[in-house]
Structure 1
Amino acid sequence: MPRLFAARLLGRSLPLLLLLAACRPDTPATIAPPEAAAAPQQLRDDLGRTLTVPAHPRRIMALAASMTEMLYAVADTATIVARTQVCDYPAAALRKPVINSYPLDLERLVALKPDVVFTTTGITSEADAQRLQELGIPVYYQQYDKVEDIFRGLTDLGRILGRVPQARHLVDSLRAELRAVESLPKPSPASTVLAITWTDPIYVYGQNTLFTDKIRLAGGQNAVLEKFTQPYPALTREYILQLNPDIVLGGSFGKLDSTFFRLYPELKRIQAYQTRRIYDPTDDLMSRPGPRVVESVKELRGLIWSPPAP
């Protein structure tokens, strides 16, 4: 490079170099530390048990079929690591590994390393839950006495799993559907409904079960008004004769006529048998307190409004 050109270039660049040097900080730039990891969630479940769950659970599962349905309705389904042998809805659940729940396969469950396991009262024993807790796996119980409890449960799942908008949208939609059902005409007086869960001995849905609220919303009334200690009490034939229900749920007329009423012929005197108002509701809808609860209420309403046989 010719000396004259180099000198001119240096002369022109020197002020800029001096300016940049003046702007340079006296101390080296500091890099902001990465954001601290979110603190774990301190939760209290519906049994009043306290447990610690990661801020953002990435591996989850349920030990109750109803809660598996709820997880698929709210959670990121990629985070669901397994199902039980009775979890068959939605169809996508069938592609997940199976953990036996009766008896609970602790070894296989622990090997999956879930961040949290969800279940409901009456499905998982507290002894099994305690064992899982001791092995570092928190177990979160939910309990449902009314339909509103299911909506609350879905909302809780959204909060725990970081899926609040999804849960809110689902619950708002279900509440709107339920309001539409409640606005429909209802029979007066309300039909009394006896729902049978087992035939020998005779176990039924008691007053303190979710069924009572569902049948009320459908426009009927649980024939069992007395509150027993057990949610599904065993009733005598004499007690059922006194109830004299308008409707019996638990199987089709043909099936119960050849089994239940053959075993207890004196019960043919009840109103439900005389009018052939004996129906077989969808088992999953009756027994699972999940996101299909409004569908269950709609089905029950349809059965209540079915006319008596001539």
Structure 2
Amino acid sequence: MLYRDQMKNKRSGFKPWRLGGTIALLLFATACGSQAAPVTGPVDGKAPAGAYPRMIVAGGKHEVVVPVKPERIASLSLDTAEMALELADPSRFVVAPRSLDNEQLSVHAEQGKLIGTKITGATKLDPEQVLSYKPDLVLMTTIHDGEKDADPILKQAGIPVLTFKEWGTVRQIMDQLDLIGQALGEEEKAKAVTDRMKSKLEAVRNKVEGRKTVSKPTVLVLSPVGPNTGPYMMGPDNISSDLVRLAGGTPAAEAMGLPRTTKATIEQIIQADPDCILLSDWEGKKEQAFRELTGNPGWSTLKAVKEGRVRVMAAKQLVNANPAVVDSIAEIADVLEPASGVKKEAGA
């Protein structure tokens, strides 16, 4: 569900033996598509407001033509589902990832519960199953093997598929939210969301610039990357690194020279001795989820622990990309304030 580097060794969920059934579905979709009205009219992004078909342009090239306003949306990755639910009613979704229901992972868990069909995405995504829901737009992030395998198959079916490679910065969230807004015919809603994000960014920027510090504190972000995976040190591509930078800190992964998300060991953490530690909570267990680290005697020797600069935050606030992460920047900035000598409770 999450990050480019975290799950590379996970095996793809695509089943080669299902290819025959998938091809049959492709032929059916193509046959049905031949009965539809041809794509005509402006597709250069200059059509009148609300007009379809429209061409969605990303990365400097034409990505996908959306022939009609989507009313059967298949949002297959948590990040794309979070973005789309900012703009569209749950009734427009035919399928979404199961992770959307997890209140620690998703800011739209309540809305997500109104979507009747949920599937396991990421490493176990089955294109044949997706096609059976007859979507008129597919939104997904091609980070995991299952998503990468499914992407070309879904596109061959003639369904508009809008894919994203990463959501590693707040800027990317805003830019890609705009693209989803174009695809869904909800440009004004997308602009309203990104305008709010920009306003909050400006407020925290003023706060951070007003802080008088000699150097930027190092911040280590620890998080699971899936159920029962144990804690990992989040890499530079995760959204948390950008949040730390925007809050006026230095990602410890960057200071440690970590090129990607890496399994956490107490030895590495002691060697890095970060100024602050942020713990990403996936299950509501708070610090208990990190007991393999916090229970080690070396944990209490860390500068961040001694100074009370350890904070537990829900995964949706820290490591999962969504528009609400801008609210987390101010909270992280508070953790980065110079230690007062009074130890704070983790998660306080």
With the length of structure 2 as denominator, give the TM-score of the two structures.
0.68
Aligned residues of 1:74 and 1:166 also touching (Cα < 8 A): yes
Aligned residues of 1:45 and 1:140 also touching (Cα < 8 A): no
1:235 shift after superposition: 5.0
Corresponding residue of 2:93: 80
Pairs within 5 Å for 1:7-86? 38=41, 40-43=53-56, 45=58, 50-86=63-99
- Secondary structure, in 3 states, of the residue corresponding to 2:334? helix
Q: 2:233 aligns with which of 195, 204, 220?
A: 204
Query: Is it true that 1:169 corresponds to 2:213 in the alignment?
Result: no
Pairs within 5 Å for 1:108-127? 108-123=129-144, 125-127=147-149
Query: Is it true that 1:260 corresponds to 2:260 in the alignment?
Result: no
Corresponding residue of 1:28: none
Aligned residues of 2:222 and 2:264 also touching (Cα < 8 A): no
Aligned residues of 2:83 and 2:177 also touching (Cα < 8 A): yes
1:300 shift after superposition: 2.0
Aligned residues of 1:71 and 1:77 also touching (Cα < 8 A): no
- Secondary structure, in 3 states, of the residue corresponding to 1:280? strand
Aligned residues of 2:168 and 2:321 also touching (Cα < 8 A): no
Corresponding residue of 1:3: none
Distance in 1 between residues matched to 2:180 and 2:287, nearest whole Å: 42
Query: Is it true that 1:152 corresponds to 2:175 in the alignment?
Result: yes
Read off the aligned partner of 1:140 and give its amino acid letter: L
In structure 1, the gaps of 5 or more residues are: 1-35
CA deviation string 1:265-287 (max 9, x = no partner): 33432211222322211121212
Aligned residues of 1:46 and 1:141 also touching (Cα < 8 A): no
Corresponding residue of 2:157: 135
Read off the aligned partner of 2:216 and give its amino acid letter: A
1:196 shift after superposition: 0.9
Corresponding residue of 2:221: 195
Corresponding residue of 1:186: 211
Aligned residues of 2:220 and 2:251 also touching (Cα < 8 A): yes
Distance in 2 between residues matched to 1:77 and 1:256, nearest whole Å: 32
Query: Could you tell me the percent identity over the aligned residues?
Result: 24
Read off the aligned partner of 2:189 and give its amino acid letter: Q
Count of matched residue pairs: 275
Corresponding residue of 1:223: 252
Cα separation, partners in 2 of 1:149 and 1:276, compared to 1, 3 Å: same
Pairs within 5 Å for 1:263-282? 264-282=296-314
Aligned residues of 2:58 and 2:179 also touching (Cα < 8 A): no
In structure 2, the gaps of 5 or more residues are: 1-38, 44-52, 102-107, 344-348
Read off the aligned partner of 2:111 and give its amino acid letter: A
Distance in 1 between residues matched to 2:132 and 2:320, nearest whole Å: 28
Aligned residues of 1:253 and 1:278 also touching (Cα < 8 A): no
Distance in 1 between residues matched to 2:94 and 2:201, nearest whole Å: 32
Cα separation, partners in 2 of 1:101 and 1:253, compared to 1, 3 Å: closer
Distance in 2 between residues matched to 1:170 and 1:254, nearest whole Å: 32
Distance in 1 between residues matched to 2:139 and 2:212, nearest whole Å: 39
Aligned residues of 2:239 and 2:319 also touching (Cα < 8 A): no
Q: Which has the higher contact order (CA 8 A, sep 6+)?
A: 2
The farther-off stretch of 199-208 and 128-137 is 199-208
Distance in 2 between residues matched to 1:172 and 1:210, nearest whole Å: 19
CA deviation string 1:171-215 (max 9, x = no partner): 112101111111114362332111112497752112333212111
- Secondary structure, in 3 states, of the residue corresponding to 1:219? coil
Distance in 2 between residues matched to 1:97 and 1:48, nearest whole Å: 35
Cα separation, partners in 2 of 1:275 and 1:90, compared to 1, 3 Å: same
Read off the aligned partner of 2:300 and give its amino acid letter: K
Q: What is the root-mean-square deviation in Å for CA atoms of aligned residues?
A: 3.2
Pairs within 5 Å for 1:297-308? 297-305=329-337, 307=340
Cα separation, partners in 2 of 1:44 and 1:209, compared to 1, 3 Å: same
Corresponding residue of 2:272: 243
The farther-off stretch of 79-88 and 220-229 is 220-229
Corresponding residue of 1:8: none
The farther-off stretch of 131-140 and 252-261 is 252-261
Distance in 1 between residues matched to 2:307 and 2:286, nearest whole Å: 10
